[in-house]
Amino acid sequence: MPCQRVVQASGEVKQARDQKPVPSIGTGFFEWFAAMTGIVYDDIYLRHDTGEHPESAERLRVITAHLKKAGLWDSLKRIAPRCATEDEIKLVHAADLVRRVESVAKGGGGNMDADTVVSEASYEVALWAAGGALNAVDAVMAGHASNALCLLRPPGHHATPVRAMGFCLFNNVAIAARYVQRKHGVKRVLIVDWDVHHGNGTQDTFYRDGSVMYFSTHRYPFYPGTGRRDEIGEGPGQGLIVNVPLPFNTRPETLIQEFEDVMKTKAGPFKPEFVIISAGFDAYRRDPIGGLNLEPEHFRTLTDLLKGVADASAKGRIVSCLEGGYSLTGLPLCVEQHVRALAGR
């Protein structure tokens, strides 16, 4: 029972639950309340200890501090995360991968590859990360929040069904997509990934699927080496993988125009019933490992464009999950613009 151990050890999860406002949804005041943007966060996500590493707990500390300072935090509806079950992780991942991550963590920690650190708590934290996305899905499907942002780590979009890599252990957005289909009967899910890196793990998961569209803008050539324009899916999935590779130093206007074109010609016509964002903010201009040129306000533009598609066919239902973004000064500003767009503020 790995999750219980963390709860007992930290007490933080229970405390967060106790503080969470849980209004019932009805009429009047609660109708207004229901229109709020949800936020998933818990201090448990700080316990994935990567040491000296760009993907550090400090990222979440600066984001949450900034959202509070900007007066946005209290306007968001807190959604408590939970521990995903092993069966939920296995909606996407092979049992062997789950066992390997668990055993490295149980052994005191180690590495899944040169970049991908596992600390003693990381297996459990990764279950809570996926579970955070799943609780956001449930809250949005129930109408308890109009849309939601999950401030969680470890990130997920590089994790393939069989391999943890690129700072990622389990693929939070892919698991959330499968979950919303299985639990809520949603047929078509759109995953949009504007992280500066291609989400190879998400693409792998749905390459031959046919029910999930995966759209990514990313720097190319760049890590992890995938995401060419001619990678379009196969079989039932043909045409549902949409890659927009962009060279180093691409102008923001070019990226935004490409994004808008895909919204109009591919994402909109797909008529998604649910939208999930791999929200990486390493395409920010000053990101130390990015190489694209987006300013914070451009993440507002991208969010607004995507909201148009979500409003048209998905009743506005969006769950956004943090992926990359390594500028500790710029990351909070980018997240602020994303939140403002989600919340319409």
Provide the annotated active-site residues.
158
**Is the CB of residue 72 less than 8 Å from the CB of residue 342?**
no
Kindly state the helix (H) or strand (E) to which residue 163 belongs, with its residue range.
none
Which string of x and - marks every residue 280-299 that binds Zn ion (by CB under 5 A)? x-x-----------------
195 interacts with Zn ion by CB under 5 A: yes
Q: Does 218 bind Zn ion (CB under 5 A)?
A: no
Shortest spacing between CB 204 and Zn ion, in angstroms: 16
- Pick the closer one to Zn ion by CB: 42 or 195: 195
Specify the length of the chain in residues: 345
How many residues bind Zn ion (CB under 5 A)? The answer is 5
59 binds Zn ion, rule: CB under 5 A: no
- Tell me the closest approach of the beta carbon of residue 324 to Zn ion, in angstroms: 3
Nearer to Zn ion, 141 or 152 (CB): 152
Among positions 254-283, residues that touch Zn ion (CB under 5 A) are: 280, 282
DSSP state of 264: I
Per CB under 5 A, the segment of 31-39, 142-150, 234-242, 320-328 that binds Zn ion is 320-328
Q: Does 324 bind Zn ion (CB under 5 A)?
A: yes
77 vs 197, which CB is nearer to Zn ion? 197
Contact 263, 305 (CB under 8 A): yes
Cis peptide before 154 (omega within 30 of 0): yes
Residue 154 sits in the site that holds Zn ion (CB under 5 A)? no
201 is a contact residue toward Zn ion (CB under 5 A): no
Q: Give the residue with the Cβ less far from Zn ion, 34 or 57.
A: 57
- The residue assigned the tokens 């909070």 is 332
User: What are the structure tokens assigned to 98, written together?
Assistant: 């789950």
Distance CA 112, CA 125 (A): 15
- Residue number with CB closer to Zn ion (209 or 282): 282
With contacts defined by CB under 5 A, name the span among 80-88, 183-191, 193-201, 311-319 that binds Zn ion.
193-201
CB of 280 to Zn ion, least distance (A): 4
Instruction: Tell me how far apart the alpha carbons of residues 155 and 149 are, in angstroms, rounded to a whole number.
Output: 13
* Closest residue by Cα to residue 286 from 257, 324, 244, 325: 325
d(C-alpha 331, C-alpha 343), whole Å: 18
Q: What is the full DSSP assignment across 28-56?
A: THHHHHHTSEEEE--GGGGG---SSSSS-
Question: In the chain, how many H helices and how many E strands?
Answer: 13, 10
Positions that interact with Zn ion (CB under 5 A):
195, 197, 280, 282, 324
